[in-house]
Amino acid sequence: MIHRFLIGIAAFGAGLLLAPDKLPAIDDLPTREIVIKEEIHIPLDIQLSDLPQAWQDLAKCESNGRLNAVSGTKKQFQGAFQIEYPRTWVAHGGHSGNPPKKATLREQFHVALHIYADRGAKPWPYCGKFLKEEYGR
């Protein structure tokens, strides 16, 4: 079943229409920037402070904003957004040989957007409240 969700990303000055089955894999994207639906460009040198406030708050809540954070009994939750590795990470476009804790913020944010488009804030049971407040799901 195809789900389509409108996620307002004010920090980039546009809306983002995501369809989980239509988004390109990170390896298929241009090397200079990530383009999602040709409306949003994620620069190579993106910083946490460049993200929309809800995503900044999510990262601060999940990992104190640390890109290399690791938690969980099996050390499966990794990166700024504490994405489960390998299952969720790989299923939503992350490179299987490069876990979240070693990925750039650009790749972590790209995967997190895919996860949010697919599952809403559910993968972040507590900290997802920031996304719910901003985007309503």
SS3 30: coil
pTM here?
A: 0.72
Name all contacts of 71-79 with Cβ < 8 Å and 24+ positions apart.
79/103, 79/108
pLDDT tens sequence across 4-49: 333 333 333 333 444 445 555 655 544 444 444 445 678 889 999 9
Domains parsed from the chain with CATH numbers: 5-135 (1.10.530.10)
